Amino acid sequence: MDAQELRELTAICGIDCFNCEFFHTNVDDFFAKMPAERKAAFEARGMTIDKVRCQGCRKTGCTAIDGKCETLACASERKVEFCYGCSDFPCSRLQPLVQGAERVPHNLKVYNLSAIKNRGIEAWAAEAKEIRQRYFRGTFKIGAGPQLAGGK
């Protein structure tokens, strides 16, 4: 993907839509590997595969949330491409939260935005999948950040 496509497939808040389980190229595999019990819970909440299939929040809005995204609305109103371009960055919309952290990468927003700003979107995107792996599968080591097996 080129830089422009990466911008379109990265949320204003720094979430890498292209690696999201609901992204249109990932959702079929995600649902196919999902245990039946979890799939039933998804469907009971109206989250069918067709309902959550996403093209990226900048294009279709985030299908993982009900209603509009307040962060996207704020960034649009302030005319910034990413939240890091706002004079109020980081704001409370990006504050980390324990709730849901084991399932969704919402706590990566400020890290991702800082990486995009400092290294560029292409360099960040090249490591975005590993960033998610360290977040979800890494072990905590004070002063070193999340560690994957092998010390990465």
Residue with the larger pLDDT of the pair 149 and 15: 15
Q: What is the pLDDT of residue 19?
A: 93
Instruction: Tell me if 108 is assigned to some domain.
Output: yes
Split at pLDDT 50, 70, 90, the class of 152 is low
Instruction: Tell me if 98 is assigned to some domain.
Output: yes
**What is the rounded (10 degree) CA torsion for 91, 137, 18, 70?**
-20
Instruction: Tell me if 151 is assigned to some domain.
Output: no
Give the domain range for residue 96.
3-137
Q: Which residue has the tokens 């989250």?
A: 47
Instruction: Tell me if 7 is assigned to some domain.
Output: yes
Average pLDDT, the chain: 91
Instruction: Tell me if 152 is assigned to some domain.
Output: no
Alpha-carbon distance values, 7 to 25, 57, 111, 120, 124 (Å): 17, 11, 16, 10, 11
Taking only the tens place, the pLDDT of each residue in 68-113 is: 899 999 999 999 999 999 999 999 999 998 888 888 888 999 999 9
Neighbours of 40 (CB within 10 A): 10
Alpha-carbon distance values, 110 to 12, 13, 31, 151 (Å): 11, 8, 28, 23
- Domain count for the chain, please give it: 1
